[in-house]
Amino acid sequence: MKLLIAALFALVATPAHAHARATSEYTSLDDCKTIASSENDPNAEIDFFSSICKGRDGYRVSYDGGDSRSWIGLLAKGDRISESGNSWLSLDEKQGFFPNIAGLKLEWRYHDDVLRALIVRTSGNDPETDEPREHLTVIRVEPKRAGHGCVIAVINARRTDANARARAAADSSLKCN
């Protein structure tokens, strides 16, 4: 009886997320529809593109770029698509100068089949040395938030444990501010 009570107490006292099964699904930025592009605009002042890609769980991914930079964003069903760009992901000094999306594979992190985060490879030049650097940027997916999420972690992609660290951040309780 004491063993049964101890087991029930351990079950009740354990945080809910500790029992969550973390899994990943993947999509590609290769599978996109171009909405606008400087290739179709002979008067464009800079190279640019705006595209919509397949996502997961009712989301589409906007993938936009111009002037040696690129961004992604999440679009939910019913969100308006703009030819001038749809991306909300703010790549800042953590990614370096001329931040951009450096990988074509997106990792979608789930807890018990509930979408929690998105992991994407980003790059930019170090502001002091101008050397290129790469990161795994972790985006918390929050459906009710404007833009449907925020950056919660930026992991140095050159670390041997970068993937594990990015997944740990994605699986953590870190939230958007």
Q: What is the pLDDT of residue 134?
A: 92
Contact 176, 90 (CB under 8 A): no
Q: Per-residue DSSP letters for 91-119?
A: --TTT-EEEEE--SEEEEEEETTEEEEEE
Tell me how far apart the alpha carbons of residues 78 and 166 are, in angstroms, rounded to a whole number: 30
The answer to whether residue 142 sits within a structural domain is yes
Reduce the DSSP state of residue 136 to 3 states and report it.
strand
The answer to whether residue 55 sits within a structural domain is yes
**CB neighbour class for 111 (10 Å; exposed up to 12, middle 13-18, buried from 19):** middle
- Is pTM beyond 0.85? Reply is no
Tell me how far apart the alpha carbons of residues 150 and 68 are, in angstroms, rounded to a whole number: 22
The answer to whether residue 108 sits within a structural domain is yes
The residues near 75 (Cβ < 8 Å, ≥ 6 apart) are 52, 55, 59, 60, 61, 62, 81, 86, 148
Provide the residue range defining the domain that includes 78: 21-171
Pairing of strands 48-54, 60-66: antiparallel
The answer to whether residue 16 sits within a structural domain is no
What are 76-103's pLDDT values in tens digits? 888 877 665 555 555 555 666 777 888 8
Q: What angle do CA 136, 139, 143 make, to 5 degrees?
A: 165
Total tally of structural domains belonging to the chain:
1
Q: What is the pLDDT of residue 3?
A: 36
The answer to whether residue 44 sits within a structural domain is yes
The answer to whether residue 9 sits within a structural domain is no
The answer to whether residue 11 sits within a structural domain is no
The answer to whether residue 2 sits within a structural domain is no
Residue ranges, the chain, pLDDT below 70: 1-19, 82-96, 146
Q: What is the pLDDT of residue 16?
A: 46
Q: What is the pLDDT of residue 90?
A: 57
Q: What is the pLDDT of residue 85?
A: 57
